[in-house]
């Protein structure tokens, strides 16, 4: 027999509902994996795919510091291909669309990088 069972069971029900939040919240939600648009006809980037997946933000952050603070604007040369240390003149030469490349994963993972606080987002032309 439990004393104050009404209050205790109510509390426990609230507790279980809160703990299992991700389980019931996702019900009916359309789980859509990010679909990243890859550049046509290009296979190589400045680093390998896995590195870019995990650490592109660190790379960009380093570039930002090198360019803005130290004025080191020299090109990054990887396997004979020149890449400019620049978001808009480097990365976005191949990955042309912010919406179809950057935002896909960033939205999925709730990341809001502050790149676009300073950079002007290139207009999407269709």
Partner 1 sequence: MKILYPFVAVLGLILIAFLGVQVGLAPVFGIVFPYLALLVFIGGFINKVVGWGKSPVPFRIPTTCGQANSLPWIKQNQIDCPSTTAGVVARMFFEVVLFRSLFRNTQASVYDGPKLRYGSSKYLWLFALLFHYSFLVIVVRHMRLFTDPMPFFVPVLEFFDGILQIGAPTLYVADLILVGAVLFLFVRRVLLPAIRYISLPADYFPLFLILGIALTGILMRYYLRVDIIAIKQLTVGLATLSPTITGEIGSIFYIHLFLVCTLLVYFPFSKLMHMGGVFMSPTRNMANNNRMVRHINPWNDPSIKPHSYMAYEDEFREFMAEAGLPLEKELPAKEEAPVADEPTAEKE
**Strand-pair partners of 76:** 83
Window contacting partner 1 (CB under 8 A); options: 19-27, 75-83, 85-93, 94-102: 19-27
Q: Is 116 in the site for partner 1 (CB under 8 A)?
A: no
Identified binder of partner 1 from the candidate list 43, 50, 71, 120, rule CB under 8 A: 50
> Rg for the chain (alpha carbons), in Å?
23
The torsion angles phi and psi of 8, rounded to 5 degrees, stand at -65, -45
Candidate residues 17, 77, 81, 111; the one interacting with partner 1 per rule CB under 8 A = 111
Minimum separation from the CB atom of position 23 to partner 1 (A): 5
Nearer to partner 1, 25 or 79 (CB): 25
Q: How many other β-carbons are positioned within 10 Å of the β-carbon of residue 59?
A: 16
Give Dmax (Cα) for the chain. 78
Nearest C-alpha neighbor of 45 from the set 73, 98, 81, 87: 81
| Residue ranges that bind partner 1, judged by CB under 8 A | 1-5, 8, 11-12, 15-16, 19-23, 25-27, 29, 31-34, 50, 53-55, 57-58, 60-61, 105, 108-114
């Amino acid at each position: 027999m439990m004393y104050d069972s009404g209050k205790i069971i109510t509390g426990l029900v609230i507790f279980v509902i809160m703990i299992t939040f991700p389980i019931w919240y996702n019900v009916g939600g359309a789980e859509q994996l990010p679909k990243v648009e890859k550049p046509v006809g290009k296979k190589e980037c400045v680093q390998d795919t896995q590195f870019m997946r995990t650490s592109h933000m660190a790379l960009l952050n380093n570039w930002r510091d090198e360019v803005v603070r130290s004025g080191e604007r020299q090109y990054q040369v990887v396997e004979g291909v020149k890449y400019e240390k620049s978001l808009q003149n480097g990365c976005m030469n191949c990955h042309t669309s912010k919406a179809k490349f950057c935002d896909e994963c960033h939205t999925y993972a709730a990341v809001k990088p502050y790149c676009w606080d300073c950079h002007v987002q290139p207009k999407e032309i269709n």
